[in-house]
Amino acid sequence: MTVSTPGTTEVELAIGGMTCASCAVRIEKKLNRLDGVEATVNYATEKARISYPDDVAVDVEKLIATVEATGYTAVPPAPPSEHGDTDAGTTAAEADELQPLRHRLLVSIALAVPVIVLAMVPSWQFEYWQWLSLTLAAPVVVWGGWQFHKAAWANAKHGTATMDTLISVGTSAALLWSAWALFFGDAGVPGMTHPFELTVARSDGMANIYLEVAAGVISFLLLGRYFEARSKRKAGAALRALMELGAKEVTVLRNGREELIRTEDLAVGDRFLVRPGEKIATDGVVVEGSSAIDASMLTGESVPVEVTVGDSVTGATLNAGGRLVVEATRIGSDTQLARMAKLVEDAQNGKAAVQRLADRVSGVFVPTVIVIAFASLGFWLGNGAGLSAAFTAAVAVLIIACPCALGLATPTALLVGTGRGAQLGILIKGPEVLENTRRADTIVLDKTGTVTTGQMTLLAVHTAEGNEENEVLRLAGALEHSSEHPIARAIAAGATEKTGELPTPEDFSNLPGLGVQGVVEGHAVLVGRDSLLRDWAIELPVDLARAKAEAEAKGRTAIAVAWDGQARAVLEVADAIKPTSAEAIRRLRALGLTPILLTGDNRAVAEAVAAEVGIDEVIAEVMPEDKVDVVARLQAEGKTVAMVGDGVNDAAALATADLGLAMGTGTDAAIEAGDLTLVRGDLRAAADAIRLSRKTLFTIKTNLFWAFGYNTAAVPLAAMGLLNPMLAGAAMAFSSVSVVANSLRLRSFKAAD
């Protein structure tokens, strides 16, 4: 995709062949070396976002050639579908890509398990067990580990080395040396078993095989790659979730007739019908009727918006009241929904690629090990130790430096950590998320659905002298029960909860923008704005007028109730604060995070909510598309920002934030854009999620220490030709056991009381 703005061209390319975060860094460096080019490569979304001035000698073909010269593929992404979804139709392709990896993993595990068991249980080593091990291990190393060998070759051609290089060299060396020992050494004789002596002694290696190492490393790492690929296939899910919010069909009015067409066939200027309960097909202006619009799925704010002739409405919002006729003003990619989808995509692509811990270490570790291996070979050849002994030392260095535990370090900690998190209502997307939990110092909280329940609730009833609360609720609730308005539903639900079954109105009328009126149990009842009561020459007494003013000062909606010519009560309706929110804020502060409340509501409402839960800083009256700018501004101030939200309007901000925490009770778009998902819908889970993520990150780091530590310590022994095969096996087994045991400690993680 190419976009031109005055003086600058922006290009987006789909990158193929990346196997780790260091690949993205390498491509990014190559592209940025071109004159005038600024490039960002995202490993997670497999896309490159490139911009350059119009006056430089760069075009798309040159950019693609640069990427291909680095050893990867680059193509412009598929054009948007007619729905405006750039990722539409990719699900099947992603599934096809994942299927071969899953097949490769399952076959490799099935073949590797017998090899590992036979090597580790001497009593099961029958007469020709070593030949069976070779037969089973060879396909695992060659076919199962093909992606590692392919990546290592690509790295070698460009003079670089990653963990793929070490995996490929180490496992290939283990397989080839084992085959040499079996065919030309003593390892292939009938009845051969692994020795038990855990001693440091020089050996020529011709009786030793390392097949379990080769097969085990490949299987473990394929398991990690599979989980990684399964996570990456969801990269476009946030965009698809956004686009699926829109209506698929719409009733247009043409020549005085109603005609049902597909939404994408709408044109600017078309007039279409929106019945109660239907979604508005596209952005437009009301030309007939009035109603209440529920925009919560798009804006995240629960308070419905009253609209009438001349008011603008947004596509994908819900008509919660009367019949509307709307004239389309924006369609396709120009709609607010499409623009929000574009914001999410930009935010995801704009995230800096996170260099994985193992790859950072491997940048030094891999070349060092290879140098030591060649140095050992040269040293022993130069000292007349013989070709067999020299090769034994060199290969032993490569084998002991290829840690089995490395394949377990991140997957096991993530497996245990995410499993424990799921029990506590926390879902962690991947290892790159964890580093950001450690660095975060500011947490931005969306108000509606995060700090508050996100639903209109009856909070208080103020009655005039001589009236009973239950009687007010029975009559008002009975009338509101017949209305579809969100505020009416809140009143009806509150009345039912407190008084039980409500009577059926004998007469009912809906007065758009004012309220409802009708007859209940012989009483002429009015429920709505105070202006509705004034139309009937009914004024609120002083105490009810004061209650109404105080409620509105808190940002709540005040509903007047009257019957038989007298004002009887004022009902307070608002989005209720979750009972656990204040405690959650205290826990977040204890973790070193500064909370900020962010909302599209008016400042009075926001400050009232913030004061109740203990938040000092409030950013209010922010349009959905401007939330990204707020997060970016905080980041520009040097803050590392975590964001908690639940609405479609939060998706782009969640993707922009350094750490996105999505409430599981929210929309799919927000959940997919977030890095952590809080399934419980309880804000306290945000504090638990950050604690668990930080502990999981610490566990991964200690796992990597064990994974590299044992092998690094044994490298000098291997270089000196003193590495007994059983000692090598024990070291690798103990490092793996240490990693697993350390990861299992995460099972004891508990949510704060």
Helix (H) or strand (E) holding 428: strand 426-428
- Select from 387, 393, 402, 400 the least CA-distant residue to 719: 393
Q: Where would I find the beta strands (DSSP E) of 295-389?
A: 305-307, 312-313, 318-319, 324-330
Is residue 446 annotated as a catalytic residue, yes or no? yes
Instruction: Tell me the pairing of strands 594-598 and 442-446.
Output: parallel
Rg, Å, the chain Cα set: 33
Kindly name the residue from 270, 294, 359, 446 that is annotated as catalytic.
446
**Amino acid at position 492, single letter:** A
Q: How many CB atoms are located within 10 Å of the residue 187 CB?
A: 24
Instruction: Tell me the pairing of strands 659-663 and 641-645.
Output: parallel
DSSP assignment string, 571-624:
EEEEEEEPTTHHHHHHHHHHTTPEEEEE-SS-HHHHHHHHHHHT--EEE-S--G
- Select from 546, 536, 581 the least CA-distant residue to 687: 581
Pairwise CA distance, residues 286 & 42, whole Å: 42
Tokens of 669: 């778009």
Pairwise CA distance, residues 664 & 670, whole Å: 9
- Select from 752, 704, 418, 416 the least CA-distant residue to 589: 752
**Contact in structure between 293 and 319 (CB atoms under 8 Å):** yes
The angle at the Cα of 83, spanning 82 to 88, to the nearest 5 degrees, equals: 95
Say whether 257 sits in a helix, a strand or coil: strand
Active site positions, annotated? 446
